Structure 1
Amino acid sequence: MTASADALPRRQAGRLATTLLASSLLGRLPQAMSALALVRIVVDGGGGYAFAGALTAGYVIASTVGIPVLGRLIDGTGRPRAVLLVAAALSSVAFVEVALLATAAPPAALVCGVVAGFASPPLEPTLRSLWPRIMAPGRQLARAFSADAAAQEVLYILGPLLAVLAVAALGARGGVLVMAAAGLVGTALFCVHRLLRPRPAEAGERVAHPSALRTRAVRTLVIALVGGGLPIGALTISAARFAALTGAPSLNGWALAINAGGALTGALLIARFPLRTPPERALRGLLLLLALLYLPTAAFGLPTVVWLAGAFVAGLALPPLLTQVFAITATAAPAAALTEANGWIISAFSVGIGAGTAVAGALTGAAGTAGAVAAVVGASALALLGAGLATPGRLAA
């Protein structure tokens, strides 16, 4: 599969991209709503925070494992529509069971949460594997990747807000049911287009191809993105620590929202002014920049306005970085394993964010502000190490 083989005329490609992107965002809402909705259904039902955390963690970890597995299944069968729809149905049913069992049978609800996570339809990697078939190579494809990165930031800004509104209007159980419905409806709309039909001519090639992780460029991106996710995950804890030090707990949420706003700004900028440097060369510098921009968030003595401005600036580098990652994956990963490759990329980034949050939380709990400082500095240092590994030679197709 080549980028030029299936690229559509500009206007048709633009309409199709908008449709696929919008439906994929609807289908991915459960991922953005889950943290708040799953905690609320447990706590509002009288459960403890320990179980709420276990339920959320089970869903997230299972999703991280399931995305590349289902992506490989799509590549192996050549039937993305069937895999996506079955996964969405299974995940939605599991969410309904979580809504019914969270207070009545917590162990069963935990199992259902894991099933819902593992069966999360891999819409994001599937969409990324479609871009080279829709868009002409070069500037048009780069803008598609930029729009994809911007949409991801919008999703994680709107997701928690929609979760709050759903819980307020329908109760905690209703919030989880809204997640189930959004995932199923969004996936169904995404699968309507003919691009999701089976491609039997490629089925044999897909089945025979080894895992995308056998490709050096994919392995390098996975390592680099685990490192890149660490400072982003650490911000969740450093923002909470800064809010506690200033005596304004609400600053925690504002800091994360402002950081997401910075990322959205970075996505709009990279879409308007795409880099002329080849992605294999640009990625290393952008990962280095991301690591350095998060360092000021360890300066807890800064005035509030300055610290929040630092959180905004820290978000700017992420979408340009992801845009280069998408572009490299599209050219360096085997065409028969492209969905799986994108799945590993997404999971690696999620692992980095989760690990950054977990380690920062442990260090801050053990050593207070000094631990939070160490967590941010350490996360940035590991991101720099990832940048050192991401050489153009390792990322070449």
Structure 2
Amino acid sequence: MIGMMRGKKYKWLIPILIAGLVSLGGQTAYPVICNAEIVEGAAPYDGDLEKARNNALKDAMRTLLEEKVGMYVRSNTEVDMGVVVTDKIVSRSTGYVQIKSIISEGVQGGVFVIKADLEANDTNIEVKYKDDVAKAMAAALEPRVANVAVVGYGLDGQVQRDERAVNIVSQYLSDMGIQTVVNDNVATLLAHNPNPLPADLRRLARQDSDNSANSVLSGTLRDVEVYKDSSGYYRGEVEGSFSLVGIQNGYSQNYVERFTGVGKTPDGAVFAARREAAAQATEYLARAALKTMQFENRGGVNNLNTSVEIHGITERAAQSQFFNSLLEGANCRITRAGFAPDGSYKVKIIGSGWDSLYELAQEIVQAAADRGITLFQLESTTKIILQVQ
């Protein structure tokens, strides 16, 4: 369940009515009712007072937002997406949560505890949640695929696949345009060897029935300790060890870090630490994943693995053949092509000898212009999108 509550909340008896109209996405909404609440947040304190205070305030905001986001969760697919969306809203709190006042704050044992009077804009949160879920689901359809496996080593010695961590990793990757495929063979390997060789990960990935993946993101989460702090909160410490390995090239990158989480229960503290480990590791490695999966080097030649979308086609048969010839003329091997429901022509390609999406896009635009067709390149960092004039 998404709203893991880390703090007590006391709802005001009378909601505050915000007068006036709020503009959302170019549309005018009715007055927004926002609930003001006293929310408690907590974060580990390890000597850095400012860092602990900021993290505790974020924790309070996250607690409030998890309840709000929870109102829009309707299926298992969206449950863990709520974690991603909540963290995004927390990082950009303006327009979603207002800090009315700080009721109390201070260090209690090894935990910084803060109580804040927060006000949440329900309408803005609902719109943002639905918007981010829609974008992430659409991004997951992009032809970039990663094998994913995460296992957890418990304090009791039990080793098993960490479903929540896999979901969080997958949702962060999906939000960055990377589709994921769960790899049980890799998970089995991690359960016996938490630090496998890149060659072993590649071998298992190649044996997977879904051979469209071009990277492996594997991770182990080892519970180090969990104990009750003098503050009354539990502190859980987890070591996260993640790696990203390219299947068709020699790329390999690791991420190892320890994370501390706090919670009202031992499980809550461990989950908070595991969530932070999975999110930060994925954020770090996925940036490299986009580049790794987009560019492969074979025989000293860069191979650009991407997709091209062409919008504005009016004559499907003739124009699709025309654009295929442009791509082939730019040293691109077409691996998949077809028309999407919106009418755009989508082509999966491997371009040989190109260093960037921009260079290849400009070559296609110029080649089309030489044949009397005007194309405009639309903004995208993960693929080439062209519009026929």
How high is the TM-score relative to the length of structure 2?
A: 0.25
- The structure that is helix-richer by fraction is 1
Q: Which has more radius of gyration?
A: 2
How high is the TM-score relative to the length of structure 1?
A: 0.24
